[in-house]
Amino acid sequence: MRKSFTRVTLAAAAALAAVALTVTGGFAKIPLGDFLINGKVANPLRLSVSDLASLPIQTLTVSFKAGAQTETHTYTGPLLLDVLGLAEPKFDAKVKNDKLRFYVSGFESKQVLLAMTEDGNSLATEGPRLVVPGDDHGGRYVTNIVRIHVDRGQ
């Protein structure tokens, strides 16, 4: 029971580490502003920040600590779960609550965004930014995302 609880807790809390978000680095062939969604999905995708506009857009103003300072920004973009839904994660219908074994789930009801804008400025050339409202520190506010790898926990 403890192992299962830990898995669910991690699934709900680990949007950054769990989805294996990759920032700019070893993906030189992907134009700036584009990103991949791959892994355990039926429909691997390559999207641009502008492609995100076709999904329902949320606007959130958040504050978080960045070093010794507190930053406040307003972000717009779709929910991360809506973006991942386009790729159709491969849940196993034979496994009870299989979607809770995936690293990102709707378990906690946080409005985690894949932001297209920050304070009204487009992120189209940098790539989207993960926005995790309610986090005290900005460690999961990952910028310049080039890949989202969907996987399930063991």
Residue 99's pLDDT is 63
Digits of tens for pLDDT over the chain (154 positions)? Answer: 434 333 333 333 333 333 444 444 444 477 888 999 988 899 999 999 999 999 999 999 999 999 899 999 999 999 998 998 898 877 767 877 766 655 566 556 788 999 999 999 999 998 999 999 988 888 888 888 888 888 776 6
Query: With contact defined as beta carbons under 8 Å apart, do 7 and 153 qualify?
Result: yes
Question: Beta strands 145-150 and 34-39: pairing type?
Answer: parallel
| 63: containing domain | 2-150
Query: With contact defined as beta carbons under 8 Å apart, do 73 and 61 qualify?
Result: yes
Number of residues that this document lists for the chain? 154
Taken in order 56, 111, 61, 34, is the CA torsion positive or negative?
A: negative
What token pair was written down for 142? 């990952």
Find the CATH number of the domain harbouring 66.
3.90.420.10
Q: Which DSSP letter does residue 81 get?
A: H
Residue 98's pLDDT is 61
H helix or E strand, kind and range, residue 22: strand 21-23
Residue 102's pLDDT is 58
Question: Total structural domains in the chain?
Answer: 1
3-state DSSP assignment of residue 46 = strand
Residue 97's pLDDT is 72
